[in-house]
């Protein structure tokens, strides 16, 4: 009997210890992250005054390279912020938005559509996981996200609760994040003046095959969730495709977006259209690589967005 | 399976649970044997087969040694038993290297990439081979009675916490513990976990982070002060790495109620090279002493013969570490250190008397420790260097381009960020302080006397520091250096 009590005591002790450790670890890593990452320091989205943003731009690196909120604000008077993260998939976009809309009530949300087509490029849901975006997700509903991941049998749930599993590697140099200035200007992250690669030429001459194929089921689910959430909050949605080199496999997603925007009367500013880009005198020097625009490219894109708002929305 | 992987932690926890709760106490050793073989099989079936071959041949070899009546026959069986192990060890560890070296020297086709054996050296082969040889010699000397059971003997050779990197144990040290009945002791488990956590701190927080700086300097030494500094840093890295591993291994073993012998005893407190070898990799030093140095004649012979014995012993040590020219030069340097130390010891004593120096003073001891550290670090350059020519280049720089101011400044320019440099300095200071405190008092007793919140705070801090500052994950933890020997 004594032995059994003793064993139970030891077991209870172990459980208590592990519980305290888990809570401490989760709390500490999330807090460390907040202090180590420039993204979420004073200039970061979650440090912006509440209810101060008129336009919220959301998307992947395509968005944070191309959208310069201050330039758009100068033209339109709308205060904006680009809440973006590398390789953001539709699912992450949903959680980004969910977290963002708790603090802000923007009138407009601009969604960069690469996030919907990302699984139709070379990526799969297994490649894209939360770890790629954790640095940008301090206020995400991580418990809910972790639960979703756990239920769908993925192991990302552990990264969501204990981001250290991913981030400790980046603390190798500890102040590594000091060099990342993802938030140079309200979430805009300039990609420099361009490497002048050969692909940007292809962007202006791309001739896509009439490819047909499925839209990834996860994209469908989160696409629907995102729009439902924004509709419920009475937010005007604008879809944006920044200039980048499409691949044939992305076309089904673009078709889906086009039909959806037509059905629901949602504006879609498609800058992957090479005819439009030529008309706007977009040059190869405006592309950093096949996927991202340069600083000058961002100015062109932001100008187009401003014009679009002035002429079609405001 | 890496000792630092989550898989290993899970493996140990599962083994412990079965060990204490399911297996009858009389057969706990059978469970340990199963665990050991399963653990070893994770490194590949080829290795497991070679291990089993080594165990079986040595078991029967030793049986024959013990049964033979004639001294000559016993000796012949001993030579055969040892030869099998040595041939296996040399074949898997050295033949490829030397074949490649000679093919390069003779400019044979293949650019020195020719390999005689396509199988990599089995995990921990250097360690268990020495254990087997030591066991055979002990039986030959009639110092121990050989183990009758092949399975029990197999456990002695393959005991999983220590097979990969030692310590190199003797049968007499392990026999009682391995086959005894062990009841669950909360203290054993907590003390073992403490030790393993301390080992992880040394390995993952200090050694692997310091390794980044060490690699950067060894790849680009630039000047003599940087080269010597790299040697000193490498001393600390190697100590944190190897002693960290020994703590993890010892901690795991302690959880099973089996205590492994100490392999390190504050080597940075060594007052001489001789003293250093009494404190560094103790189990190997004792093995070399008992099975190489003393059989060669030890110190009970002429001075020249004694020096030759010393040189041979350290060359064997270099050979055991890998046999490359760098290791051999490292062994040779340590042999020469010992000879010089012995040769001039009387003159040195005379000088101290004449100069009326106080040998017991702290200043004198600090000087001795400093000199020993510099000499040892100098030799490590050959041990760690990226090939013999790179090591020679670093040594040349030490003698031709040494600047003391730069040497001090290097502390702040170790190819890590300033924040991390400071953190590493603090962590290293903590490591040496704890090691030093451990010499004076038992830290675990000190901890045991504290109330629960204090104890848990210490453990939680330790775990969090390892998890936050340790190097693991995407790039992976660096391999234990001594796992490759």
Lowest mean pLDDT among A118-132, B211-225, B287-301: A118-132
pTM reported for the whole predicted model: 0.71
Q: How many residues does chain B have?
A: 485
Q: What is the pLDDT of residue B385?
A: 65
**Minimal Cα distance from A17: which residue of B?**
B456
pLDDT at A195 over 90: no
Say if A26 is an interface residue toward chain B (CB within 8 Å).
no
Residues 6+ away with beta carbon under 8 Å from A165: A158, A159, B473
Q: What is the pLDDT of residue B477?
A: 47
pLDDT at B404 over 90: no
Residues 32-51 of A with CB under 8 A from B: 32
Mutate to test the interface with A, among B17, B193, B460 (most CBs of A within 10 A): B460
Rg (CA), chain A: 21
CA B126 – CA B166 distance, rounded (Å): 9
Q: What is the pLDDT of residues B47-58, one digit of tens each?
A: 889 999 999 999
Q: CB-CB: which of A20, A24, A172 is closest to B471?
A: A172
CA B211 – CA B95 distance, rounded (Å): 29
Quickly state the pLDDT bin for B170 (edges 50, 70, 90). very high
For the segment B336-350, the average pLDDT, to the nearest whole number, is 87
Which of the two residues, B411 and A269, has the higher pLDDT score?
A269
Question: CA–CA distance from A103 to each of A54, A217, B70 (Å)?
Answer: 12, 30, 91
CA A122 – CA B39 distance, rounded (Å): 38
Q: What is the pLDDT of residue A45?
A: 75
Q: Which residues is A83 bridged to in the sheet? A: A58
pLDDT at B410 over 70: no
pLDDT at A37 over 50: no
Q: What is the per-residue DSSP string for A7-25?
A: HHHHHHHHHHHHHHHHHHH
CA B7 – CA B476 distance, rounded (Å): 14
Q: In whole numbers, what is the pLDDT of chain A averaged over residues? A: 76
Sign of CA dihedral A90, A94, A95, A100: positive
**Minimal Cα distance from B187: which residue of A?**
A10
pLDDT at B118 over 70: no
Lowest mean pLDDT among A74-88, A172-186, B37-51, B65-79: A172-186
Question: CA–CA distance from B76 to each of B27, B73, B81, B89, B297 (Å)?
Answer: 36, 5, 9, 20, 20
- How close, in Å, is residue A40 to chain B by CA atoms? 19
CA B88 – CA B84 distance, rounded (Å): 6
Block residue for tokens 């801090």: B461
Lowest mean pLDDT among A264-273, A283-292, B97-106, B412-421: B412-421
Contact B431, B266 (CB under 8 A): no
Contact A229, A94 (CB under 8 A): yes
Q: What is the pLDDT of residue B312?
A: 93
DSSP-H helix ranges across B220-361: 224-255, 273-279, 282-288, 303-321, 325-355
Which of the two residues, A151 and B452, has the higher pLDDT score?
B452
**Minimal Cα distance from B475: which residue of A?**
A169
Say if A25 is an interface residue toward chain B (CB within 8 Å).
yes
Q: In whole numbers, what is the pLDDT of chain B averaged over residues? A: 85
Rg (CA), chain B: 23
- Where does residue B97 rank: exposed (0-12), middle (13-18), buried (19+ CB within 10 A)? middle
Q: What is the pLDDT of residues A67-120, one digit of tens each?
A: 999 999 999 999 999 888 777 888 888 888 887 888 889 999 999 999 888 877
Say if B474 is an interface residue toward chain A (CB within 8 Å).
yes
Contact B459, A25 (CB under 8 A): no
- How close, in Å, is residue B207 to chain A by CA atoms? 13
Contact B207, B241 (CB under 8 A): yes
Judging by DSSP bridges, how do beta strands A108-112 and A55-59 pair with one another? parallel
Q: What is the pLDDT of residues B172-190, one digit of tens each?
A: 988 889 898 888 888 888 8
pLDDT at B346 over 90: no
Of all residues in chain B, what percent carry a pLDDT higher than 70? 89
Q: What is the pLDDT of residue A177?
A: 34
CA B215 – CA B442 distance, rounded (Å): 35
Q: What is the pLDDT of residue A73?
A: 94
């Amino acid at each position: 009997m004594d032995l059994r009590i003793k064993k139970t005591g030891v077991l209870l002790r172990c459980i208590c210890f592990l519980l305290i450790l888990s809570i401490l670890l989760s709390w500490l890593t999330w807090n460390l992250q907040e202090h180590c990452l420039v993204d979420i320091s004073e200039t970061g989205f979650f440090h912006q005054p509440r209810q101060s943003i008129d336009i919220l731009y959301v998307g992947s690196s395509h968005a944070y390279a191309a959208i310069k909120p201050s330039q758009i604000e100068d033209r339109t008077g709308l205060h904006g912020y680009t809440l973006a993260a590398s390789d953001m998939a539709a699912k992450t976009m949903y959680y980004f938005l969910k977290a963002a809309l708790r603090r802000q009530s923007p009138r407009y949300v601009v969604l960069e559509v690469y996030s919907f087509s990302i699984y139709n490029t070379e990526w799969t849901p297994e490649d894209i996981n939360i770890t790629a975006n954790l640095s940008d997700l301090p206020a995400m509903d991580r418990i809910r996200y972790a639960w979703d991941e756990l239920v769908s049998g993925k192991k990302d749930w552990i990264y969501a609760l204990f981001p250290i599993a991913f981030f400790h590697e980046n603390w190798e140099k500890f102040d590594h994040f000091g060099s990342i200035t993802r938030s140079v200007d309200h979430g805009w992250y300039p990609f420099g003046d361009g490497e002048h690669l050969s692909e940007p030429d292809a962007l202006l001459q791309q001739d896509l095959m009439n490819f047909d194929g499925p839209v990834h089921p996860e994209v469908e689910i989160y696409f629907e969730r995102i729009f439902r959430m924004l509709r419920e909050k009475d937010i005007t949605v604008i879809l944006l495709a920044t200039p980048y080199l499409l691949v044939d496999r992305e076309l089904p997603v673009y078709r889906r977006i086009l039909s959806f925007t037509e059905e629901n009367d949602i504006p879609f500013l498609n800058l992957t259209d090479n005819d439009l880009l030529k008309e706007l005198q977009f040059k190869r020097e405006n592309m950093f690589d096949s996927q991202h625009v340069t600083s000058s490219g961002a100015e062109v894109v932001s100008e187009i967005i401003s014009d679009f708002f002035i002429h079609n929305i405001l | 399976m890496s000792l630092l992987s989550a898989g290993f932690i899970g493996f140990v926890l599962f083994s412990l649970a079965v060990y204490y709760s399911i297996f009858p106490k009389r057969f706990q050793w059978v469970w340990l044997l199963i665990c050991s073989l399963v653990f070893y099989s994770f490194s590949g079936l080829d290795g497991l087969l070679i291990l089993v071959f080594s165990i079986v041949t040595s078991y029967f070899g030793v049986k024959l040694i013990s049964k033979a009546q004639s001294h000559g026959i016993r000796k012949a069986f001993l030579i055969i038993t040892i030869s099998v192990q040595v041939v296996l060890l040399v074949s898997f560890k050295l033949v490829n290297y030397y074949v490649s070296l000679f093919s390069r020297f003779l400019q044979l086709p293949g650019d020195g990439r020719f390999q005689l054996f396509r199988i990599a050296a089995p995990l921990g082969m250097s360690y268990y081979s020495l254990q087997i040889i030591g066991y055979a010699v002990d039986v030959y000397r009639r110092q121990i009675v050989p183990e009758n059971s092949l399975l029990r003997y197999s456990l002695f050779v393959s005991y999983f916490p220590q097979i990969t990197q030692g310590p190199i144990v003797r049968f007499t040290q392990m026999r009682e513990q391995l086959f005894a009945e062990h009841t669950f002791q909360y203290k054993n488990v907590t003390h073992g976990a403490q030790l393993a956590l301390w080992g992880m701190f040394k390995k993952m927080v200090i050694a692997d982070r310091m390794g980044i700086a060490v690699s950067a300097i060894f790849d680009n030494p630039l000047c003599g002060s940087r080269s010597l500094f790299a040697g000193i840093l490498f001393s600390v890295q190697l100590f944190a790495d190897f002693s960290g591993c020994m703590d993890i291994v010892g901690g795991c073993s302690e959880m099973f109620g089996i205590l492994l012998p100490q392999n390190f005893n504050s080597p940075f407190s060594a007052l001489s090279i001789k003293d250093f070898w009494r404190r560094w990799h103790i189990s190997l030093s004792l093995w070399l002493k008992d099975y190489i140095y003393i059989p060669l004649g030890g110190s009970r012979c002429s001075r020249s013969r004694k020096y030759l014995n010393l040189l041979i012993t350290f060359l064997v040590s270099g050979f055991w570490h890998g046999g490359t020219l760098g290791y051999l030069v490292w062994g040779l340097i340590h042999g020469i250190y010992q000879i010089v130390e012995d040769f001039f010891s009387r003159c040195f004593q005379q000088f101290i008397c004449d100069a009326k120096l106080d040998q017991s003073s702290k200043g004198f001891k600090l000087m001795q420790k400093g000199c020993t550290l510099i000499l040892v670090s100098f030799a490590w350059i050959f041990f760690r260097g990226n090939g013999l020519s790179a090591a020679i280049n670093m040594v040349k720089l030490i003698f031709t381009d040494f600047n003391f101011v730069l040497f001090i400044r290097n502390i702040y320019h170790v190819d890590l960020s300033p924040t991390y440099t400071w953190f590493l300095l603090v962590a290293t200071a903590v490591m040496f302080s704890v090691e030093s405190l451990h010499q004076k008092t038992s830290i675990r007793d000190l901890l045991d006397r504290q109330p629960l919140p204090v104890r848990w705070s210490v453990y939680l801090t330790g775990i969090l520091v390892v998890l936050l500052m340790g190097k693991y994950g995407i790039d992976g933890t660096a391999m234990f250096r001594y796992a490759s020997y």
